[in-house]
Amino acid sequence: MKTAAFEEKEYEAPLYNQLALGNPHVWSPGQVFENHLGFDHGLFVSNPRLWQLLGRAATVGVFLNRYNWDFIWRHRPRRAMPNFRLNLFLQAKRPNYYSRSPRHVRVAGINGPCWSFTVDANQQLALERVAARLRTRALVAYASPAFHRESQLYAHTTLGTVIENSTFPEATRLTGHSKWFYNTPGGNGVANPEAEFSEGTPLFEMIEQLRKNQNEPADMSGRRAYEELSSLSKEIISSLDVKSGLVENPRVAIFFEEIRIIDREVKQFEQIGEPVRVFLYVATFARVFNLEWFTIS
């Protein structure tokens, strides 16, 4: 067994970029949030000399240190925008490569070379609680490459084929397990320690299924977007509260501490408003649990 030659972050960047650019129904939440709710992200400059040089008074506003988007979106896109009703939470994993499958994996039906990744037990418990609570409103899944050499990563980055060459098991499929073994892209694999072959669905097909299962058409008004975002944040918080049995989970503890900080900061600046609060709740969940958050139209 050997670990992939590239770091997790090196795989994350092309994976998430190709996901946002390669599927017409997947959006970065920041873009949706700005367009629906009227907030913009720009350069924060506090030096008065710069404003004097420009012949203008310094602008008045609020600097949100958790509102860390690295782009400015100024033009309304042509495609219909989502409203936070459907969501995707992904965590990228660095794989281990086996030139020969472990015996218990071979017995389960995977022969020859394969890959695996290990899940964090505390994180997995929280993710499966959230996934079970959100059900048809969100996909919560892992992502890991079906390759392990740097040259392969560069090639798939250049060709735009990282997604087509990755596995995407849903978090609920790893309940009670510590590892995921796979020898092909898509969703098929073997969960450890109870080595039983499991058939899964490729990521884009799961996204399409989620879209088809919507009970009602999306309302593109700003109020509707806020309502869906507020509902999403409440569902996440409820799935992780003291009744979930995760009171001693370290990531859950950090999450609720961050929520209290957000509440305090939003209370100090009334102009921020409730829409920013609920956006930051969901963004904090993604950050604390090392997830990339997308919204689906």
Cis amide linkage into residue 77, ω under 30° from 0? no
pLDDT tens digits for range 104-139: 899 888 989 999 999 999 999 999 999 999 988 999
Q: Which residue type is seen at 68? A: N
Judge whether 10 and 198 are in contact, CB under 8 Å. no
Rounded CA-CA distance 240/164 in Å is 33
pLDDT tens digits for range 2-51: 999 999 999 999 999 999 888 888 988 877 776 666 554 444 445 554 45
Judge whether 89 and 141 are in contact, CB under 8 Å. yes
* CA 111 to chain CA centroid, nearest Å: 31
CA-wise closest residue to 294 among 226, 215, 207, 231: 207
Angle between helical axes of 222-240 and 29-37 (0-180°, round to 10): 130
Q: Which residue type is seen at 90? A: L
How is residue 231 written in tokens?
């509902």
Q: Read off φ and ψ for residue 275, nearest 5 degrees.
A: -55, -40
pLDDT at 55: 54
Full DSSP string of 253-279: HHHHHHHHHHHHHHHH-TTT-HHHHHH
Rounded CA-CA distance 13/92 in Å is 10
Sheet of strand 86-92: strand arrangement: 26-27, 292-296, 86-92, 138-145, 166-167
Classify strands 26-27 and 292-296 as parallel, antiparallel or unpaired.
Answer: antiparallel
CA-wise closest residue to 207 among 158, 146, 163, 156: 163
CA-wise closest residue to 57 among 68, 66, 65, 48: 48
How is residue 240 written in tokens?
């992780």
Per-residue pLDDT of the chain (297 residues; tens, 9 = 90+): 899 999 999 999 999 999 988 888 898 887 777 666 655 444 444 555 445 544 555 555 544 454 454 444 444 555 567 788 899 999 999 999 999 999 989 988 898 999 999 999 999 999 999 999 998 899 999 999 999 999 999 999 999 999 999 999 999 999 988 999 999 999 999 988 777 788 888 999 999 998 888 755 555 445 578 888 899 999 999 999 877 788 889 999 999 999 998 888 877 766 567 888 888 899 999 999 999 999 998
Bridge partners (DSSP) of residue 197 are 190
Largest CA distance in the chain: 74
> To the nearest whole number, what is the mean pLDDT of the chain?
82
- HEC string of 229-251 equals HHHHHHHHHHHHCHHHCCCCCHH
- CB under 8 Å to 110, separation ≥6 — which residues? 101, 181, 182, 183, 189, 190, 197
